[in-house]
Structure 1
């Protein structure tokens, strides 16, 4: 952590990760979280989200929040308006998407492809397919193999695996193999995301700050995953969830409680509402 105890200037926009941050492991918004978000609106402080989920995965979140706002999906690879229309996107280069798929298959994983409209898989019984279906509210398109035309529309390739140490090793291997042509990072212990090299949450914060008309220095970000590190470092004040790893906590200005004990609400109360 940086050792800072409060934001250097009043916070005008809060940008939150969703899974493991805004919602608990049951994908619920607690009453205290709802109250904190309502208090932000009363203070005139903007609120939005950025997530590894695809754009369609924001529909259920908007319904939970009772709001429609400009938000960022695919770790910043897609910025959408409140009706989920894409206003900015960063696709993977087709050759890099093919390479990522090949590398994941070499490691015994069955990759998923996400475009701006659908997600494509080969094995509907693969690790975490039911979980992803529930999380984003969309059924996958099951195919024998990925059609060549799909590679020109890829926002994200995912390798999903419940062998977490193996997936961590795959993360390091893919990043070495793909180099500067992509970002390979885990959004959860069981999800390895491969995206455009500029599709990260640091870029998302810049895009969202611009959309809300505030400087990045007046943005508070909060997250729990390694994919959240760029936004924790980019914002005026970054808060790591208590359920985040030591690496995530080291990148933040402060650490709050975990997602099962209202860590999000605690951070809003401490660093925005009482500041």
Structure 2
């Protein structure tokens, strides 16, 4: 199966999709992006990372923007200036932090430019600092100023089953006030209710004046489902959960075996082999 409408915009998730497990961008992926640009196809990323957490990728890929951060809660230019921002309601932020802490999960708070936390030795802090390439600031407690500019609250834990359970419980508590979704098995993200990747994809397509039927989205996580459903053509990674694959038009190889590049070659550049899996 190939797109019925020529693709004019590719929007890709980052972790688990565009980069390998050790956060590398392969030469084949870079070559595919160069080929997209030569054919006049827009390319950008949509990540759960905060704006400053995608700086290194923007620089490495020379992305002019718009780029999606915070699951679409912030659309930014290549210079990190903000085009559109959706803050978390303060009450939802405070409730989320309280619920996470009640279950022994430390909470992080991200604004447009900063990352605040209480325990620098907490679960996955070192890993995330390396991934984002941005420093964190240790605070005794989040204050009104932090909450007023919160784009995302993150619960990080080694107990993946706990986060899976809290995802449902926290979403039920927050209702329409905010969205609680796992971006990884070990991260539970709380964002503005309108800050989901499907909405961010629509915003990027609007800003670039590309019809939605000419957009290809590719991802691997549960938080990618909304953009897979919105795009005219969607690709799930081979390493994605079955529930994610079920919302994609086709399935490519995993992120350790050039799944992103294979998808670009096959469905946009149309110079790759056939034989894809379809939903």
Q: TM-score, normalised by structure 1?
A: 0.97
Structure 1 consecutive aligned stretches of length 4 or more whose deviation exceeds 6 Å: none
Matches within 5 A, 1:1-275: 5-274=1-270
SS in 2 for 1:205: helix
Cα RMSD of the aligned pairs, angstroms, is 1.0
Cα deviation per residue 1:152-203 (whole Å; 9 max; x = unaligned)?
A: 1110000001111111111111111111111110111111000000000011
Structure 2, unmatched stretches of 5+, are 272-279
Query: Contact conserved, 1:8 with 1:236, CA < 8 A, in 2?
Result: no
- Note the C-alpha offset of 1:132: 1.0
Work out the CA distance in 2 between the residues paired with 1:6 and 1:140.
44
Ranked by relative contact order (alpha carbons within 8 Å, sequence separation 6 or more), the top structure is 1
Q: How many residues align?
A: 271
Work out the CA distance in 2 between the residues paired with 1:188 and 1:132.
12
- Note the C-alpha offset of 1:66: 3.4
Work out the CA distance in 1 between the residues paired with 2:121 and 2:150.
22
Work out the CA distance in 1 between the residues paired with 2:113 and 2:5.
39
Q: TM-score, normalised by structure 2?
A: 0.95
Structure 1, unmatched stretches of 5+, are none
Cα deviation per residue 1:221-249 (whole Å; 9 max; x = unaligned)?
A: 00011110000000101110111111110
Query: Contact conserved, 1:201 with 1:227, CA < 8 A, in 2?
Result: yes
- Note the C-alpha offset of 1:8: 2.2
- Note the C-alpha offset of 1:47: 0.3
Work out the CA distance in 1 between the residues paired with 2:176 and 2:247.
21
- Note the C-alpha offset of 1:127: 0.5
Query: Contact conserved, 2:8 with 2:215, CA < 8 A, in 1?
Result: yes
Work out the CA distance in 2 between the residues paired with 1:8 and 1:180.
36
SS in 2 for 1:20: helix
